[in-house]
């Protein structure tokens, strides 16, 4: 009986190890909390909310976009945006020289898609440029609930699910995929039982469990990227909710006013709207207005 039970355990162990999707491999990334510093206090060209926060005002040829920056929830990303906007950070110009000046002034919203988003921050004006460096994503996938959703029940993430299966089976060509069709189908069914977080982790995304991340909703300000940990200077502002981008892009702000400006930028088309200047206003330490004293009758 003992020999039979031991053999059973051995077979189970061997089978589980041959199934790459039998268990989770996710590990959170170490994360050090940082405080955002605003080097220069700009004067806003428009009135701002009384709420203590850091605000960015993008003055464009279509009007002003007022955004609250999430300095507590994406501090490294917010700091990068502020430093580029205020000319506090060196970047690599197209001629290969290091430059230190306001990065976004004069750039266009080079990519706009109706019922999706407006994208800017490319010095080349075509989506191929950046500041000459890349930095990591700043996302807590658990705070987005991606650990609670099975990949098979999330149609938005089917591409990442397919990639995870191809990576595990080391499939690189169509011919290899045809030769391993039966194996792929079995692996795909197994992978569908894992969480979206696990699948994204296996396709290269790294997450911390310290910050509180925000969903990609209408008006969200988020980093554009070319895959995991490829952030630079490009960003986008959502015209609509985009749940298929949760966990894939760092959301670091929210549009407070200017949704009609976003609509005008979309109608204008690619590269038709220029960012004239970005104003950064730090109201974190400004007390809210005190209520008026009651009048004596």
Non-local CB neighbours of 248 within 8 Å, separated by 6+ positions:
200, 205, 225
Q: For residue 14, what are its two tokens?
A: 């061997």
Evaluate whether residue 114 is within a structural domain. Answer: yes
154-193 pLDDT, tens digit per residue, is 999 999 999 999 999 998 888 888 888 889 899 999 999 9
List, edge to edge, every strand of the sheet that includes 235-238: 111-113, 117-120, 235-238, 220-223, 251-257, 63-69, 54-60, 275-282
Q: Which of 203, 221, 254 is the endpoint of a domain?
A: 203
Note the pTM of the prediction, 2 decimals. 0.89
Residue 248 sits in a domain whose CATH number is 2.40.100.10
Give the residue numbers spanning the domain of 61: 54-140+211-282
C-alpha to C-alpha distance for 201 and 207, rounded to whole angstroms = 8
Say if CB 150 and CB 219 are below 8 A apart. no
Q: Is the four-CA dihedral 231, 236, 238, 242 of positive or negative sign?
A: negative
Find the length of the chain. 297
The answer to whether residues 60 and 195 belong to one domain is: no
**Which pLDDT score is estimated for 19?**
86
Please report the beta strands in 31-149, taking only residues with DSSP state E, as ranges in sequence order.
54-60, 63-69, 91-92, 98-99, 111-113, 117-120
**Which pLDDT score is estimated for 284?**
97
Q: For residue 290, what are its two tokens?
A: 């005190």
How far apart are the two ends of the chain, measured CA to CA in Å?
A: 95
**Domain tally for the chain?**
2
**Which pLDDT score is estimated for 180?**
85
3-state secondary structure of 138: coil
Per-residue pLDDT of the chain (297 residues; tens, 9 = 90+): 555 444 443 334 334 447 899 899 999 999 999 999 999 999 999 999 999 999 999 999 999 999 999 999 999 999 999 999 999 999 999 888 999 999 999 999 999 999 999 999 999 999 999 999 999 999 999 999 999 999 999 999 999 999 999 999 998 888 888 888 889 899 999 999 999 999 999 999 999 999 999 999 999 999 999 999 999 999 999 999 999 999 999 999 999 999 999 999 999 999 999 999 999 999 998 765 544 344 433
The answer to whether residues 110 and 176 belong to one domain is: no
Evaluate whether residue 228 is within a structural domain. Answer: yes
Evaluate whether residue 231 is within a structural domain. Answer: yes
The answer to whether residues 72 and 157 belong to one domain is: no
Evaluate whether residue 118 is within a structural domain. Answer: yes
């Amino acid at each position: 009986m003992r020999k039979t039970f031991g053999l059973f355990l051995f077979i189970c162990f061997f089978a589980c190890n041959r199934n790459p999707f039998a268990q989770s491999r996710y590990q959170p990334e170490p994360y050090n909390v940082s405080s955002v510093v605003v080097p220069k206090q700009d004067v806003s060209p428009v009135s701002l909310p009384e709420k203590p926060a850091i605000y960015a005002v993008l003055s464009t040829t279509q009007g002003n976009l007022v955004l609250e920056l999430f300095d507590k929830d994406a501090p490294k990303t917010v700091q990068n945006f502020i430093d580029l906007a205020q000319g506090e950070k060196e970047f690599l110009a197209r001629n290969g020289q290091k430059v230190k000046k306001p990065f976004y002034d004069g750039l266009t919203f080079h990519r706009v898609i109706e019922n999706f988003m407006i994208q800017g921050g490319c010095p080349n004006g075509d989506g191929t440029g950046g500041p000459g460096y890349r930095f990591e994503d700043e996302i807590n996938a658990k705070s987005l609930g991606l650990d609670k959703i099975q990949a098979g029940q999330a149609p938005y993430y089917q591409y990442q699910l397919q990639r995870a299966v191809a990576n595990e089976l080391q499939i690189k060509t169509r011919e290899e995929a045809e030769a391993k069709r039966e194996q792929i189908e079995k692996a795909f069914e197994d992978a569908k039982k894992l969480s979206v977080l696990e699948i994204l982790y296996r396709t290269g995304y790294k997450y911390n469990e310290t910050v509180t991340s925000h969903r990609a909703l209408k008006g969200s300000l988020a980093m554009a990227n070319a895959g995991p940990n490829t952030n630079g200077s490009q960003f986008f502002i959502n015209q609509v909710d985009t749940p298929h981008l949760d966990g894939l892009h760092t959301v670091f702000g929210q549009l407070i006013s200017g949704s009609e400006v976003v609509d005008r930028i979309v109608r204008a088309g690619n590269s038709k709207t220029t960012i004239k200047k970005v104003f950064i206003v730090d109201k974190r330490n400004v007390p809210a207005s005190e209520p008026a004293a009651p009048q004596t009758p």
